[in-house]
Amino acid sequence: MDRFLQPVFFILFFALIFGSELTCLCAEDSAQTEVRQLSQERVSLLKTNLALKGTPQYFQSLYELGEVYWKHALKLGNDAMLMQEAQKKWQALSEMKEANLEWKNRAHFALAESYFSQTNFLLAMQHYHAVRSRFEVVTELKKEIAALEQNKNREQEKESLEDLLQETQTRVDLKIEAQIRTATCLNYLKSYDKARQLVEECLPLASEKQKENLIYQKVLSELLEGKPEAEVSLKLFETDYGFNASTEEGYWIWIQKLLAKNDQEKAIFYLKKLMDRSPEGRFANEGRALLDKLNEEEVTHATSSELSWNEVLTLAKSLRDKDAERARRECDRIIGAPVQEAVLKAEAMWLAGEILRDQKEYDKAAGYFEMIDIFLGESVKEKAMLGLLEAGKCYEKAGMKQEEKRVYQNLMERYPENPFRKQIELSLKKLS
């Protein structure tokens, strides 16, 4: 994602592994030097801030003081107390009646960014919404300057405002930047329609670079929502803006969506494209590992399709510990096959149930265990009885008392000669 759209999650880590003791000490000194420097900056600005109170320079000093706290917080690993101090300074500035609109604007934007970095998207949006357009700010500054034209005693204040006006006129429009980030917040909050609506509203006023960021937010909302048109939108974005950080992220999200739909073939196609376009990019290591895994699964699937059903069950058992999801899919293949021995199907149902039970998916596991009796019944009587008993235990762990009771009653009625009678009767007594 473009730098304007990324949360501020950048933390400096000071750790050198397998280095000499001297190297470690040097790294530690370096870290301490940076922290001391930040502390000195903060102290200096605090003093300046107090000295300037009541002057136009006070607002700038207060804003920059918040920045120093913020920078210091990031250096120390998103330190919560320092983050709060930064937010206090900017909050005070944003509420200060005598502060001009530009400094209030910057304070709101900085507050929004800080809350965004803490993934507090609702509070971030409140402050993004408070940001005014560059036109509004420039108009207000010009009025303030005009009011000071005839007052020679406030010449310094007038010059300060003129410098601020010039700087504001050359900066990006913070209102549009705030809208772009608001669209990002809405996407994170899964309010995809609102994100797309906001993009359409902002596009006519945006610069070329801002338009690129806004259009990507629209593509992102479609990708995250898994809309069918997302694939075309991503291709059009790449055609218009080339392969960049946003396109790279878009590819990665789309790959995850394809995998969620079990469209492995297309996922591999996009993954190969991503690795070709960005071999050293943001998702390079993760992407290569995923591609290797998917290719291995393809080979395994091709091989397993040529195996007998007994061999497929053996394969599933061998995959249980290293790839439980793959093992369960092989079990499902056996269960769904039209012709097969009842004993083999029962084994596959039991194995799938065990895998889900180990993953603490107790309600799903119970379904597989119960399936043995439902579909195979008397043909695998011993396994069916065990399956109902295990289903009851799973429902108990899932806290599904009604289902637990139903399964145990079913076991007692269908198989009155079962060897678990005393155990089941005690369980039913507790449930009554």
Chain segment 76-90, per-residue pLDDT in tens: 888 888 899 999 999
**116 burial type by CB count under 10 A (0-12 exposed, 13-18 middle, 19+ buried):** buried
Q: Given a cut of 90, is residue 311 above it in pLDDT? A: no
What is the rounded CA–CA span in Å between residue 133 and residue 255?
Answer: 38
Q: Which of 351, 346, 356, 350 is nearest to 397 (CA)?
A: 356
User: Rg for the chain (alpha carbons), in Å?
Assistant: 32
pLDDT tens, position by position, 170-181: 888 999 999 999
pLDDT at 211: 92
pLDDT tens, position by position, 421-431: 999 999 998 88
Cα 170 versus chain centre, distance: 34
Q: Given a cut of 50, is residue 148 above it in pLDDT? A: yes
- Asked if residues 257 and 226 have their Cβ atoms less than 8 Å apart, the reply is yes
Does the predicted TM-score (pTM) go above 0.85? no
Mean pLDDT of the region 376-399: 93
Q: Given a cut of 80, is residue 303 above it in pLDDT? A: no
Structure tokens at 309: 């059903």
pLDDT band at 147 (very low <50, low <70, confident <90, very high): confident
Which bin fits 415, alpha (ψ -120 to 50), beta or left (φ > 0)?
Answer: beta
What is the rounded CA–CA span in Å between residue 292 and residue 187?
Answer: 31
Mean pLDDT of the region 206-228: 91
pLDDT at 151: 79
Q: State the residue for tokens 């974005």.
A: 237
pLDDT tens, position by position, 133-143: 999 999 999 99
DSSP, residue by residue, 367-392 = HHHHHIIIIIGGGGHHHHHHHHHHHH
pLDDT at 260: 86
